[in-house]
Amino acid sequence: MTRKYFGTDGIRGTVGQSPITPDFVLQLAHAVGRVLREKEKRPTVLIGKDTRISGYMLESALESGFNSAGVDVLLLGPVPTPAVAYLTRAQRASLGVVISASHNPYQDNGIKFFSAQGTKLDDAWEQAVEAALQQPPSWVDSASLGKARRLNDAAGRYIEFCKSTFASDLTLKGLKLVVDAAHGAAYQIAPEVFHELGAEVIAIGCSPDGLNINQGVGATHPEALVKAVREHQADFGIALDGDADRLQMVDAQGRLYNGDELLYLMVDDRLGRDEVVPGVVGTLMTNMAVEVALKKRGVAFERAKVGDRYVLEALEKHGWILGGEGSGHLLALDKHTTGDGLISALQVLQACVRSGETPASLLKDVALFPQTLINVRLKAGQAWQTPALAAAQHEVEQALGETGRVLIRPSGTEPLVRVMVEARDAQVAQQSAQRLADVLAAA
């Protein structure tokens, strides 16, 4: 069955346009409630949100839809997406619901779900919900309607959970941190987590007004963090995105570290404590330098499709615990069931505090390969997988050997083919990518 509403990470779109309208969201919650009640007589659902102005409207619609299906609701208010995953598990709830469009601007919003175990739900569950949406509503009688209440200490519970993932014999005392919450869901929580572990915290991007989420701040606009770290002469900068599941970090020199480098630091810390790290999952876009460095240390590496959902699937398949992507979605499955920007930041800080070294020093053997990305626009109906391209790609890959790699993939949203070449030498990467792009354009 093809999914009509669910994408790779829930349902997302522009507010006021289908499907992100209050009437549809009410229907969605009612359908989800009916699916839940097939297995449970009186389900309880947690609802958390980020700071978008539309969150109030969508929260009310979800609450009504669930209550109409006989489902109780626990409202968390503005909390990070990974907080909903944790609290769903901790509260023994039937389902967790997040109202957020992550790193998108405030005009967008979305709905995503977590299972009772705090994990993403599978395709079969989403298909069951879509099937229920095709059925006429079936309201429960008045005596069976669901109730709603607030979990007033949701933020405090999650703060304690985050702190518990940081080594109990270490402290952040003596460190000055700039913390950027993107005017998003972690605006109250993120500064408090680091402060309670001993750090001096300078907060930016922590003044949401409903319209400024991700606007010029946060993980998608790290230039604000770099500037603040330099101005305040901080030791580290930490940038989250609007729902706080994505992380970028900056060191005292203002150097920005992406998710690929941060993932390596998390692995390095564990290897340094003689923990066994059998393997790590990255994506098709993970820089080859990380793969080379990990394999040199005896750590297997596998690439999944782009998207933390696919990274998680690969980790579960192998029984591994560490994975992530360059955008800053990082997974440490022995700490949390889902990607968590705060917990990932604590893992990186732990590595630096324990070793007494800077990120740059810890990454001295991981010099990222230069990467060239060229987008080639396709003509209407153009077939791009030609024998000429296959031959050119084979020749480029033969020439690169183990010093680079090629990735050619179509865009999922535009009539484009993306040509990416990595190589130890920037000029080789540029020339190889241009050669492949020219072959594509000539087809």
Catalytic residue positions? Answer: 102
What is the pLDDT at residue 331?
98
What is the pLDDT at residue 440?
92
Is there a shared CATH topology between the 11-151 domain and the 157-255 domain? yes
CB-facing half-sphere around the CA of 153: CA atoms within 13 A: 6
Domain parsing of the chain, residue ranges: 11-151, 157-255, 257-362, 371-442
What is the tens place of the pLDDT at every residue in 157-172? 999 999 999 999 999 9
Is residue 353 within 8 Å of residue 265, measured between CB atoms?
Answer: no
In which band, very low, low, confident or very high, does the pLDDT at 340 lie, cut at 50, 70 and 90?
very high
Is residue 347 within 8 Å of residue 331, measured between CB atoms?
Answer: no
Neighbours of 168 (CB within 10 A): 7
- What is the enclosing helix (H) or strand (E) of 288? helix 288-296
What's the order of all strands across the beta sheet hosting 322-324?
Answer: 300-304, 279-283, 322-324, 330-332
CA-CA distances (angstroms) from residue 331 to 7, 150, 155, 264, 306?
21, 29, 21, 12, 14
Q: CB within 8 A of 225, min separation 6: which ones?
A: 178, 180, 204, 217, 237, 238, 239, 248, 250, 256
Mean of per-residue pLDDT scores for the chain: 96
What percent of the chain lies above the pLDDT cut of 90?
Answer: 93
Cα 339 from Cα 307, distance rounded (Å): 11
Domain 11-151: CATH superfamily, name plus number? Alpha-D-Glucose-1,6-Bisphosphate, subunit A, domain 3 (3.40.120.10)
Q: Is the pLDDT of residue 1 over 80?
A: no
Residue with tokens 């619609």: 61
Give bridge partners of residue 200 from the DSSP assignment: 176
Nearest to 71 by CA among 112, 110, 26: 26
Greatest mean pLDDT among 1-15, 314-328, 369-383 lies in 314-328
Cα 28 from Cα 129, distance rounded (Å): 8
What is the pLDDT at residue 159?
98
In which band, very low, low, confident or very high, does the pLDDT at 443 lie, cut at 50, 70 and 90?
confident
Cα 74 from Cα 45, distance rounded (Å): 6
Third-level CATH fold of 157-255: Alpha-D-Glucose-1,6-Bisphosphate; Chain A, domain 3 (3.40.120)
What is the tens place of the pLDDT at every residue in 18-36? 999 999 999 999 999 999 9
Is residue 94 within 8 Å of residue 57, measured between CB atoms?
Answer: no
Q: Give the chain's length.
A: 443
Cα 91 from Cα 46, distance rounded (Å): 9
In which band, very low, low, confident or very high, does the pLDDT at 245 lie, cut at 50, 70 and 90?
very high
Q: What does the block give as tokens for 254? A: 């203002």
Please name the residue ranges forming H helices in 382-425. 387-400
pTM: 0.92
CATH of domain 371-442: 3.30.310.50
Q: Which amino acid, 396?
A: V
Nearest to 197 by CA among 156, 225, 228, 166: 166
User: Domain 257-362 is of which CATH architecture?
Assistant: 3-Layer(aba) Sandwich (3.40)
Q: What does the block give as tokens for 394? A: 């084979």
What is the pLDDT at residue 381?
77
| DSSP secondary structure letters along 113-160 | EE-TTSSBPPHHHHHHHHHHHTSPP-PPPGGG---EEE-TTHHHHHHH
What is the tens place of the pLDDT at every residue in 412-422? 667 899 999 99
What is the tens place of the pLDDT at every residue in 73-126? 999 999 999 999 999 999 999 999 999 999 999 999 999 999 999 999 988 999
What is the tens place of the pLDDT at every residue in 255-292? 999 999 999 999 999 999 999 999 999 999 999 999 99
Q: Is the pLDDT of residue 316 over 80?
A: yes
Cα 408 from Cα 417, distance rounded (Å): 7
Cα 239 from Cα 224, distance rounded (Å): 9
Mean pLDDT along residues 67-75: 98
What is residue 37's three-state secondary structure?
A: helix
Residue with tokens 């890959």: 397
What percent of the chain lies above the pLDDT cut of 70?
Answer: 99
